[in-house]
Amino acid sequence: MTKLVIKNIGQILSGKLEEPILDGDCLVAVDGKIIQWGYEKDIDCETATTVVDAHGVILAPGLIDSHIHPVVGDYTPRQQQLHWIDSTLHGGVTTLISAGEVHMPGRPKDIVGLKAMAIASQRWYENFRPSGVKVHAGAPVIEHGMVEEDFKDLADAGVKLLGEVGLGTVKDGKTAQQMVNWARKYGMQSTIHTGGPSIPGSGLIDADMVIETGTDVIGHINGGHSALPDDQIICLCESCKSAFEIVHNGNERSAVLALNTARELDKLDQVILGTDGPAGSGVQPLGILRMVAMLSAFGNVPAEKAFCFANGNTARQRELDTGLIEVGKCADFVLMDQAQHAPGKNLLESVQFGNLPRCNAFHFQLNRL
Ligand SMILES: [Zn+2]
């Protein structure tokens, strides 16, 4: 048995919008799962196998990037960059979710080829966690000609995600909806490219197509890169029960519009964050922290709630076993403190002023290769 005790925590952020700050200065995890938190004086810390002294900083569930485009290991050919996932970990992110391995040079678009690549991608990230980061990948982009059996085959082989609808040849809502429904039937989650085109082969996806397709996540509701007109973003927020994903690679003004609209509709629990990197606009190792600070500052959201967009909300929308301080959830954490010389009386206020924290993210169980 391994027992992790984190002591001298300044504040515990829960990841839960309904109760973003928890009482306590100590947290215990056994065998990689949270079992208890509260005040050290009330907790049995005796048999700890690892003790971490937080020195009074904030502890939060590790951040989740809902929208990345990995290819293989910790390398991306899009920017010729090594160790971008390692850098992302240093931006507080412990879990990454693929929206499609679309930057693979020569990506197969025939059906047997795309299925093979999705299965292989799922495997190579399950078998190898770069710097300990959990990468949920193997997200095929749907193409014309796929039939229900293909989705069953993918699901049976362990594929749990669809890549962004619209990056392949399927560009009409009717076909996309049928394929998304097949994917859902076999337990696969779906997302869609929203807004103007990005990579070669992608096209405009407007609000009508997003609504007709009915994916679980509205991928980059603020565009990636170009956003839809304001009235269409408002329409999506009003019409949809799916997750509203706001990304770093999109339009920041539209991001604030989506946030404000979600708040007016009492739908803040649907707001989740991604970077959409690596992409043409680069890799953003601190992208999720930058989104939290940007939305907190320009969207007037208390920082402790803005952090929920980056962990608890995503965990709930994506049905993950991490991202929340809850009994049984994974011991994936980020320790954060106010950056040196950042204005504000504490970390949360400094984030609300638009500043980034300094941070240190970790998984308690890094031993799986
Ligand atoms: Zn996209």
| Neighbouring C-beta atoms of residue 71, cutoff 10 Å | 20
CB distance 2 to 51 below 8 Å:
no
Query: Which pLDDT score, from 0 to 100, does residue 363 have?
Result: 66
252-288 residue pLDDT tens: 999 999 999 999 999 999 999 999 999 988 999 999 9
Report residue 201's pLDDT band, with 50, 70 and 90 as the boundaries: confident
What is the Å distance from ligand 1's center to 220 Cα? 7
Query: Which pLDDT score, from 0 to 100, does residue 364 have?
Result: 59
- pTM above 0.75? yes
What is the Å distance from ligand 1's center to 7 Cα? 41
What is the Å distance from ligand 1's center to 351 Cα? 28
What is the Å distance from ligand 1's center to 247 Cα? 10
What is the Å distance from ligand 1's center to 140 Cα? 13
What is the Å distance from ligand 1's center to 51 Cα? 42
What is the Å distance from ligand 1's center to 192 Cα? 7
What is the Å distance from ligand 1's center to 346 Cα? 36
What is the Å distance from ligand 1's center to 164 Cα? 6
Residue 31 predicted with pLDDT over 60: yes
What is the Å distance from ligand 1's center to 318 Cα? 18
177-196 residue pLDDT tens: 999 999 999 999 999 999 99
What is the Å distance from ligand 1's center to 264 Cα? 26
Report the relative pairing of strands 271-274 and 243-247 from DSSP bridges: parallel
What is the Å distance from ligand 1's center to 49 Cα? 44
CB distance 123 to 167 below 8 Å:
no
Residue 94 predicted with pLDDT over 80: yes
Q: Is 342 helix (H, G, I), strand (E, B) or coil?
A: coil
What is the Å distance from ligand 1's center to 361 Cα? 27
CA angle 304, 91, 282 (to 5 degrees): 120
On the 0-12 / 13-18 / 19+ scale of CB atoms within 10 A, 335 is: buried
What is the Å distance from ligand 1's center to 13 Cα? 30
Average pLDDT over residues 66-70: 98
Query: Which pLDDT score, from 0 to 100, does residue 369 have?
Result: 31
Query: Which pLDDT score, from 0 to 100, does residue 104 have?
Result: 97
Residue 360 predicted with pLDDT over 50: yes
106-165 residue pLDDT tens: 999 999 999 999 999 999 999 999 999 999 999 999 999 999 999 999 999 999 999 999
